[in-house]
C-alpha cells in the first residue's frame, strides 16, 4: 500500500508523520524529496525552483514509487501531486519552468498518480505558517499553493474520489481520521 501526505508548506504533514513513524516503526516511511534534492544537487527550492529542480523532484518521486514495491505499507512525505502543484506555480508565477518541462511534469503526474492508494491532504487552515529555515515563509506564495491544491483536488475528486482524504482540525482529530481511514482498508495503525 502506498500512502502519501500532501499539502502546502506548514500544514501539519511533518507533525503527523513524526507521530505515526514513532508509533508504527514497521512501516516504511519515506522522507520528503524536495529537501533531499536541494541538499544532494545544490538547487534552489520553493519560489527559486526551475526546470532542473522540478525534474529532479519528480524523478525522486518516481524512484520512491519503484522502491515502495519492497514494503507492504509505505508512507510518503509528499508525492507527485505536490510536484505538479509547485511546478505549476513556478510555470505561471515565476516563469522559471519551460513549456517542455511543464508538459513532462503533467505527463508524469498523469502516469503515476494512480500508484497512490491514499493521499492524505493536510488542510492548512488550522496551522500557522512557520519558518523552519527551509520552507518559504511568504504568505502570498503559500496562498497561491493552497489555491492550486484546491483546484487540483477538485479534479482528483472526480477521478480518484476514494483516494483523497482531507485532514483538518487538531492533531488528535487528524490522527483519528488517519486511523479510521486505514482501518477501513485493513491496515492497523497506532496513533
Split the chain (191 residues) into runs of 10 and give each run's mean pLDDT: 94 95 96 94 93 97 94 96 96 97 96 94 82 74 94 73 87 97 93 84
Q: Total structural domains in the chain?
A: 1
pLDDT of residue 159: 62
pLDDT of residue 133: 66
- Domain membership of residue 40 (yes or no) is yes
DSSP 59-108: HHHHHHHHHGGG-S-EEEES-HHHHHHHHHHIIIII--S-HHHHHHHHHH
- Domain membership of residue 189 (yes or no) is no
DSSP H/E element including 164: strand 164-167
- Domain membership of residue 190 (yes or no) is no
pLDDT of residue 127: 73
pLDDT of residue 126: 77
**Range of the structural domain that residue 33 is part of:** 2-184
Residue 69: CATH number of its domain:
3.40.50.300
- Domain membership of residue 191 (yes or no) is no
**Rounded CA gap, 14 and 49, in Å?**
21
Amino acid at each position: 500500500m502506498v500512502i502519501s501526505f500532501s499539502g502546502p508548506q506548514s500544514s501539519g504533514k511533518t507533525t503527523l508523520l513524526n507521530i505515526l513513524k514513532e508509533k508504527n516503526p514497521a512501516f516504511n516511511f519515506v522522507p520528503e524529496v524536495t529537501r533531499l534534492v536541494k541538499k544532494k544537487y545544490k538547487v534552489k527550492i520553493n519560489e527559486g525552483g526551475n526546470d532542473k529542480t522540478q525534474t529532479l523532484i519528480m524523478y525522486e518521486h518516481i524512484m520512491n514509487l519503484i522502491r515502495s514495491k519492497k514494503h507492504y505499507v509505505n508512507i510518503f512525505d509528499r508525492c507527485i501531486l505536490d510536484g505538479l502543484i509547485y511546478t505549476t506555480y513556478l510555470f505561471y508565477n515565476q516563469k522559471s519552468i519551460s513549456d517542455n518541462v511543464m508538459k513532462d511534469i503533467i505527463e508524469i503526474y498523469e502516469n503515476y498518480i494512480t500508484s497512490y492508494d491514499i493521499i492524505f491532504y493536510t488542510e492548512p487552515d488550522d496551522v500557522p505558517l512557520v519558518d523552519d529555515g527551509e520552507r518559504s515563509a511568504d504568505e502570498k506564495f503559500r496562498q497561491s499553493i493552497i489555491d492550486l491544491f484546491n483546484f487540483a483536488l477538485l479534479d482528483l475528486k472526480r477521478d480518484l474520489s476514494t483516494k483523497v482524504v482531507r485532514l483538518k482540525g487538531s492533531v488528535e482529530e487528524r490522527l483519528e481520521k488517519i486511523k479510521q481511514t486505514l482501518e477501513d482498508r485493513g491496515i492497523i495503525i497506532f496513533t
